[in-house]
Amino acid sequence: MIVRQRTNWLKMLFIWRGSVLKKIVVQLAVILVFSLFIYFFKGKIFDYKVHLNPTIFTLIGLALAIFMGFCNSASYDRFWEGRKLWGLLVIETRSLTRQILSLVNDSSPGAREEKEKIIKMISAFCWSLNYQLRDKSGMEHLTRLLSPEQVEQLKDKKFIPGIILGFIADWLNEQQRKGNIDTIVMTSMDHQLNQFSNISGGCERIYNTPLPFAYSVLLHRTVYLYCFWLPFGLVDSLDWMMPLIVLLISYTFIALDAIIQEIGEPFGEEENDLALNSMCRTIEYSIFEQGGIPQGELKKPDSYFID
């Protein structure tokens, strides 16, 4: 995800990074050339004059705008639900860490190391969920946070976050057997683990259930058909301004179509997707700080960064 500070209105007109313009510049160039061709031949194709009333495009454009608004709302709902789930994960990881540090009564010599171990497992769960949603292994973080025995158990596993959640549950059960956690505290911590499962399942639901393909196809076809027929309806009324007006209208519709497709898959690695790496670093930094575990400086966005 690209994070950029808001700048003045003039610079906003020429921003490239974070804009979908670079995805659609070829399509816009084709439409501009096509519009110039239609202007040069005065709306004729092989000596046949194509008569299209501009009113038709007003009606179609209104219907298209309403449909695009629906698809945009559906895509943004997916984006925002994903952000809420990861925001909840930030809260739950800190809450579980606090409970482990304050409610697990262990005065043995290795108690601090054991608590550091479970805090690292919590961070490993977040990183593994991140890479599960991005179809990556993420083993560089897992080998840093988990024991060699645990990493060995993760080999050839398909759903690593669930396995790591099992590691956390095993640690809590061991502490309960030792008498370091009473039943009430264990029930509360088990609720936290259930929340982890709910968050993971919610992210999977978004990942595995995209917008219906029929919506995407209909929207895509309608937008491009509208943009390529538009020059015939405006050539007589706008004259030489027609290619520029068609380009502006096409940019609006085609760019919105591209944005709908991009934010509809919020867990990807494009510039407008969720900053999962940044959220994982934030979670790790905050829970390590709670546990007093040494770590590097948290990366902060400067003018912009892509995560």
- Three-state secondary-structure class, residue 125: helix
Mean pLDDT of the chain: 87
Mean pLDDT over 205-226 rounds to 90
Which 3-state string (H, E, C) describes 9-69? Answer: HHHHCCCCCCCCHHHHHHHHHHHHHHHHHHHHCCCEECCEECCCCHHHHHHHHHHHHHHHH
Largest CA distance in the chain: 93
Q: Which residues 6+ apart lie within 8 Å of 186 measured at CB?
A: 172, 176
- Three-state secondary-structure class, residue 143: helix
List, for residues 233-270, the tens digit of each pLDDT value: 888 888 889 999 999 999 999 999 999 988 899 998 88
List, for residues 113-126, the tens digit of each pLDDT value: 889 999 999 999 99
Task: Categorize the per-residue pLDDT at 301 as very low, low, confident or very high, splitting at 50, 70 and 90.
Answer: very low
In DSSP notation, 237-303 reads HHGGGHHHHHHHHHHHHHHHHHHHHHHTSTTSSSTTS--HHHHHHHHHHHHHHHHT----PPP---S
Mean pLDDT over 139-161 rounds to 89
Mean pLDDT over 191-196 rounds to 93
- Three-state secondary-structure class, residue 306: strand
What backbone phi and psi angles, to 5 degrees, belong to 48? -105, 120
Report which of residues 206 and 271 the model is more confident about. 206
List, for residues 2-22, the tens digit of each pLDDT value: 555 566 667 777 677 777 888
- Measured from the Cβ of residue 10, the count of other Cβ atoms closer than 10 Å reads 7
Single pTM value for the model: 0.87
